[in-house]
């Protein structure tokens, strides 16, 4: 099994998503609040994972643009849940040694006095292992 | 009526008002929030991956404590509610996750999702009743036009949260009517504020939050209410509007005369 097949297997297993259920309606991308920030959009995550193009997704800043709002999860008429693929690809990246996307030492420069603890707890959970 | 209560990290720090006014109001309405001993932060975002176990443990510990106290578990912060309720669903419906969590925790009695998780608003609607709340109001907020901001986490994923109709919710509007104010009709109430993106991309948070705030203002709101400290931060700080954003519990306490 090639490296790419292994990566695809891992993303499918970790996300629990059945990409074959997708009927290409594009509703996930239409409803995504981060749509215009993304190089690859939610519907592209679905078919690129199906085609095994994990490396392109893993190298894209798109994996850090998802807001985890669950809009695509809730509004998909086929129950595909694309956000789970974005999360699985991001985890495959940040779980590697040295690949944390947000580092604690970078946080002081981002702070303002009103920021709730919840903001950095969630950001660190999303961006770092 | 006694409930186990999970306040969460932000309600002890930047989000104190959400907690304080909820406790005062509970007292006025005749129910008690019993804070769990030694609760741990829920992590603020639900770990969606099937192979994430450690990140779900703090939620399971809270759920187990409530089960052992034989009470329903009440949350207040939208994020805590979302995480704990979704993890509870995993413990109930995902045998692999439940097995691995139970293997790790080695509890005297294994946990399989027995606890009922309620948001404070659900306590008001389903345990107290909005009619009883209305009758307990001493200072109705007459003439106030309030925009109910649901955001994402109370509503979605709707199959699991089962909080309200995710596209046409009414619980916050019914709450607003019960405290004597008028709910505003507007479209952006269940769209994202930008959430944690504010940490590294404030411009994106500003885009999201200002879209929400402009819609609230355009429809004649004088105040926006939320149950989430991060929504409150984004809407108030990154929303580009002077419209006040407050926790729903603050208005509740005001209406009950305990603010």
pLDDT digits (tens, 9 = 90+) for B167-224: 999 999 999 999 999 999 999 999 999 999 999 999 999 999 999 999 999 999 999 9
Phi, psi of B77, deg, nearest 5: -75, 135
Nearest to A37 among B44, B195, B204 (CB): B204
Give B165's pLDDT tier (boundaries 50, 70, 90). very high
Q: With beta carbons less than 8 A apart as the criterion, state whether A47 and A58 touch.
A: no
Q: What are the domain boundaries of chain B?
A: 2-120, 139-255
Under an 8 A CB cutoff, do A68 and B45 touch?
A: yes
Taking residue B88's Cβ as centre, other Cβ atoms within 10 Å add up to 25
| DSSP-derived 3-state class of residue B101 | helix
pLDDT tens for each residue of B59-95: 999 999 999 999 999 999 999 999 999 999 999 999 9
Q: Note the ipTM here.
A: 0.96
Taking residue A85's Cβ as centre, other Cβ atoms within 10 Å add up to 30
Under an 8 A CB cutoff, do B195 and A115 touch?
A: no
DSSP H helical segments within chain B, as ranges? 16-29, 57-68, 78-93, 95-105, 120-122, 130-136, 158-161, 171-178, 202-218, 229-238, 248-255
Tokens representing B107 are 């509890």
B20–chain A nearest CA distance, Å: 16
Q: CA nearest B166: which of B176, B158, B178?
A: B158
Q: Residue B228: its pLDDT value, please? A: 98
Summarize the confidence of residues A85-113 as an average pLDDT.
96
Summarize the confidence of residues B230-243 as an average pLDDT.
98
Summarize the confidence of residues A57-66 as an average pLDDT.
98
Tokens representing B86 are 């979704």
pLDDT tens for each residue of B176-188: 999 999 999 999 9
The highest-level CATH class for domain A3-96 is mainly alpha
Nearest to A67 among B77, B79, B192 (CB): B192
Q: What are the domain boundaries of chain A?
A: 3-96, 99-129
Under an 8 A CB cutoff, do A67 and B237 touch?
A: no
Phi, psi of B226, deg, nearest 5: -150, 165
What is the pTM (predicted TM-score) of this model? 0.97
Residues of A in contact with B43 (CB under 8 A): 121-122, 125
Spatial separation of the C-alpha atoms in residues B207 and B212, rounded to whole Å:
9
Nearest to B198 among A70, A71, A119 (CB): A119
Q: Residue A3: its pLDDT value, please? A: 59
Summarize the confidence of residues B107-115 as an average pLDDT.
98
CATH topology identical between B2-120 and B139-255: no
Of all residues in chain B, the percent with pLDDT exceeding 90 is: 100
**DSSP string of A42-101?**
HHHHHHHHHHT-HHHHHTSGGGGT-----HHHHH-TT---THHHHHHHHHHHHTSTT--S
Q: Residue B77: its pLDDT value, please? A: 98
Under an 8 A CB cutoff, do A118 and B48 touch?
A: no
pLDDT tens for each residue of B6-25: 999 999 999 999 999 999 99
Q: Residue A1: its pLDDT value, please? A: 42
CATH number, span B139-255 = 3.40.50.1860
Summarize the confidence of residues B241-251 as an average pLDDT.
98
Nearest to B191 among A33, A74, A83 (CB): A33
| Neighbour-count burial of A105, counting CB atoms closer than 10 A to its CB (0-12 exposed, 13-18 middle, 19+ buried) | exposed
Under an 8 A CB cutoff, do A34 and B201 touch?
A: no
Spatial separation of the C-alpha atoms in residues B137 and B124, rounded to whole Å:
13
Q: Which CATH architecture has domain B2-120?
A: Up-down Bundle (1.20)
């Amino acid at each position: 099994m090639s490296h790419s097949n292994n990566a695809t297997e891992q993303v499918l297993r970790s996300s629990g998503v059945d990409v074959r259920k997708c009927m290409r309606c594009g509703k996930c991308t239409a409803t995504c609040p981060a749509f215009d920030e993304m190089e690859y959009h939610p519907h592209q995550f679905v078919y690129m994972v199906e085609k095994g193009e994990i490396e392109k997704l893993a190298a894209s800043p798109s994996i850090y643009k998802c807001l985890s709002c669950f809009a695509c999860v809730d509004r998909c008429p086929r129950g595909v849940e694309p956000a789970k693929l974005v999360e699985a690809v991001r985890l495959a990246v940040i779980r590697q040694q040295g690949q944390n996307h947000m580092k604690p030492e970078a946080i002081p420069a981002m702070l303002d006095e009103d920021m709730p603890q919840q903001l950095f707890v969630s950001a660190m959970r999303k961006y770092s292992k | 009526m006694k409930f186990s209560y999970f306040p969460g990290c932000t309600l002890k720090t930047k989000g104190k008002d959400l907690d304080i006014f909820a406790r005062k109001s509970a007292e006025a309405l005749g129910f008690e929030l019993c804070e769990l001993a030694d609760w741990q932060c829920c992590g603020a975002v639900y770990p969606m991956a099937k192979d994430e176990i450690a990140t779900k443990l703090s939620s399971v510990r809270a759920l187990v404590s409530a089960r052992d106290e034989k009470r329903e578990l009440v949350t207040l912060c939208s994020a805590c509610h979302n995480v704990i309720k979704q993890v509870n669903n995993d413990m109930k419906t995902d045998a692999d996750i439940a097995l691995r969590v139970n293997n790790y925790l080695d509890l005297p009695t294994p946990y399989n999702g027995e606890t009922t998780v309620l948001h404070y608003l659900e306590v008001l609607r389903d345990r107290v009743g909005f009619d009883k709340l209305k009758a307990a109001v001493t200072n109705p907020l007459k003439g106030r036009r309030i925009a109910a901001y649901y955001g994402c986490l109370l509503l979605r994923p709707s199959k699991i949260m089962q909080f309200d109709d995710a596209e046409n919710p009414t619980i916050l509007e019914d709450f607003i009517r019960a405290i004597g104010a008028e709910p505003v009709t507007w479209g952006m109430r269940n769209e994202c504020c930008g959430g944690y993106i504010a940490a590294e991309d404030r411009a994106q948070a500003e885009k999201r939050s200002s879209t929400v705030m402009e819609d609230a203002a355009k429809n004649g709101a004088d105040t926006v209410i939320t149950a989430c400290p991060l929504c409150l931060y984004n809407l108030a700080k990154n929303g580009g509007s002077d419209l006040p954003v407050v926790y729903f519990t603050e208005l509740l306490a005001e209406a009950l005369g305990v603010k």
